[in-house]
Structure 1
Amino acid sequence: MARRRDIDGSMSVPTFYGKELRWKREAAGLSLEDLVRGSFFGKTYLSDIERGERRMPLDLARHADQVLSTDGYFERNCEDVRRARRGAHAEYFQKVLEAEKHAKAIEVWAPAVFPGLLQTPAYARAVVRAAHPLALDEEVEPRVTDRVARARLFEDDHRLPEYWAVLHEALLTDPVLPAGEMAHQLDRIAELVERRRIVTQIVLRKSGPHPFMSGTAQLMTFPDAPPLVYTESLHSGETIDDPALVEEYRRSYDLLRAVGQSPDTSLAMIKAAAEDYRNGKQPDRLE
C-alpha cells in the first residue's frame, strides 16, 4: 500500500485538493491513465488538477469517487476548489476563467462590448462601472486588474490558444470611451492581429440576418477535455457542455463567420477607426 505523504493544511484549497486526489490515486495503485479511463478527460487534465492548476469538473469528481471508492469525497469538495479559484471575477464566470487557460482554441462572438481578453484597462474599467454604477473604487479596480491579467495568455511562448473574434461593426463606430482611449483600445486589437496572436472578423450592420442576432457566445476546445460553450447576459452566464447543444453552437458560429468581413478587411477597418479617433473624427458607419 502506498505510504501517505504529509499534506500541508496551509496550502491553497486547490493544491490541498489536488494532493489528496494524487494520494488516493497512488494508494489505489492507479496511474493517471487508469483513473481517467472511462471518462471524457485526458491524463494531462487530471495531472493539472493534482498540481492545483485546474478545477475538478463535477462529472470527473463523481468518476473519481466511483473508481477510488471515496464515498463522494471529491464531489463534495470540488465546489470549495471552484470558489477558492474565483478571485474578483463573478462566480458564474469561474469555469470559463480556468478553461481559457487550457484551451486549444477560443472563438468569440462579441456584439456589444469587446471580449474581456482584448480589453485595455480603460475599456475594462468603463464596462465594469457601467454594470456596477454604485461600486466603490476598491471594488472596481480588482475586477479591472483581474480582467486585464487574463490577457497574459497572448504573451506565452507556446502560442496557444488559437483565438478567433467575430466583432460587430458597432464596436468600432459607437465609442464607450473618449477618442484617445478608443484609439488605444483599437490599437491593442490591431497589434494582437499583426502579431498573429488573434484573428478578427467584423460583421457589418448591413450584413442581414445571421444566427447570432441576439446573445453572445464563446466556444472553447481542448486537447484533453470535451468542448464548452459559454453564453452571458448582464448579471449571469451559462456554461454549456451538452455535446448536441455544443454542436448546434458550432454550426451557428460557422455560419456567423461566413457573413463577416475577411480578416484582412477587418484589420483595415479596425486600424482606420483607430486613426479616425486619433484625429478627432467619428468613424463612419458602413450603412
Structure 2
Amino acid sequence: MLKAYGVHDPAIRKKLEDLAKNANRRGWWLEHAAHLRADYLDHICLEDDATFIREWQPALIPGLLQIPAYAEAVIRSAPAFIDPDKVPKLVKVREDRQAKIQEREGAAEYTAIIWEPVIIHPVVEIGIFQEQLAHILEVSKRQNVTLQVLPISAGVKATMPSAFSCFSFDSEPVVEAVTLDNLRGSSILEATEDLTAYSLAFDQLRSAALAPEASRRLIRGILRSSKEDAK
C-alpha cells in the first residue's frame, strides 16, 4: 500500500509500518475503561503512543517498574480514594502497561530517575521490597531502559514538588506532553512553556543523578544489606 500511494520517505514508511504492526494492541486499555479515571486513561494513551518516556519519581517505584505485589500494596494504601474491589483490575492494568518498555519492536525508550529514599526506605513488606529491587535491577539491563538514582546528596535538585512523566512521539526525544501526579490523579500539560520547563527540569535531575551503573551498584548494595539484616 505504501508503494501504491507513493510513500517513499524511509522515516514516514517506518512510522506507518510500526503503527500497522501495533494496531492490534492499540486501545488495549478500553476493556478496563469502566474501572479507570478519565485522567488515567489519558495518561495510558500518551504512554502507549510514546517513542520516548522519561519519568521522575520521588516517592515510589515508577508504575512501569512495579511488580504486582508492590503495585497491590501501594494501591491498597489509599482506600479512601480507591474501591478495594477494583484493586485486582488496577494491578492488571499496571502490568499491561509494562509491555510498552519490554524489549520488542515498537517499545519505547524509557528513562526513570528515582530519588534515593525510595530505594532505601521500604513502603511495603520487606519481602516484597526485596523482590521489587531485584526486579528493577533486572529490567535495567534492557537496551531500551535507563535507570538512575538521584542521591540525597544532590540536595535542592531533589525537591521537585511531585512526580512527572515526559512523552515524545517521534524519532527525536523532544518533549511533546507532560503528566503530573497529584493526590486525586494526574494532569496533562501541553503548553510550550510548560514542556520546556519540565524538559529542562528532567535534564537537570538526570545530570545530578548517579550514572546507570553506579545506580545499579547502589541498588545491589541496598538489596544485599536488606537481606543480611533480615537474617
In the superposition, the TM-score normalised over structure 1's length comes to: 0.66
2:116 to 169, 179, 182: 169
**Aligned-residue identity in percent:** 24
Mean CA deviation greater in 219-228 or 242-251: 219-228
Change (3 A) 1:83 1:210: same
- Give the AA of the match of 1:164: T
Report SS of the residue matched to 2:157: coil
- Give the AA of the match of 2:182: S
Report SS of the residue matched to 1:163: strand
1:98 to 29, 45, 51: 45
Deviation per CA, 1:154-208: give whole Å up to 9, x if none: 3352162010001000111110122221111011100011233411111112211
1:199 — aligned with what? 146
Change (3 A) 1:88 1:115: farther
2:100 — aligned with what? 153
**Structure 1 contact 190–267 (Cα < 8 Å) conserved:** yes
Report SS of the residue matched to 2:75: helix
- Give the AA of the match of 1:235: R
Report SS of the residue matched to 2:184: coil
Change (3 A) 1:211 1:252: farther
**Structure 1 contact 111–171 (Cα < 8 Å) conserved:** yes
Distance 1:211 1:276 in 2: 24
1:234 to 160, 177, 183: 183
Larger relative contact order (C-alpha < 8 A, sep ≥ 6)? 2
Structure with greater Cα Rg: 1
The equivalences for 1:26-105 within 5 A come to 44=16, 86-105=33-52
Distance 2:188 2:167 in 1: 10
2:213 — aligned with what? 264
**Structure 1 contact 212–256 (Cα < 8 Å) conserved:** no
- Give the AA of the match of 1:177: V
Distance 1:245 1:211 in 2: 19
Distance 1:223 1:86 in 2: 27
Deviation per CA, 1:89-147: give whole Å up to 9, x if none: 33211111022122111000000011111101111111111122585643211111111
Distance 1:246 1:153 in 2: 22
Change (3 A) 1:280 1:196: farther
The RMSD of aligned alpha carbons is 3.0
Report how many residues are paired.
213
2:90 — aligned with what? 143
Gaps of 5+ in 1: 1-30, 34-42, 56-81, 283-287
- Give the AA of the match of 1:279: E
Distance 1:278 1:129 in 2: 25
Deviation at 1:209, TM superposition (A): 1.1
Gaps of 5+ in 2: 8-14
Distance 1:253 1:216 in 2: 11
Deviation per CA, 1:232-264: give whole Å up to 9, x if none: 111121011112210111011111111111111
Distance 2:49 2:218 in 1: 31
Question: Which stretches of structure 1, 4 residues or longer, exceed 6 Å deviation after superposition?
Answer: 82-85
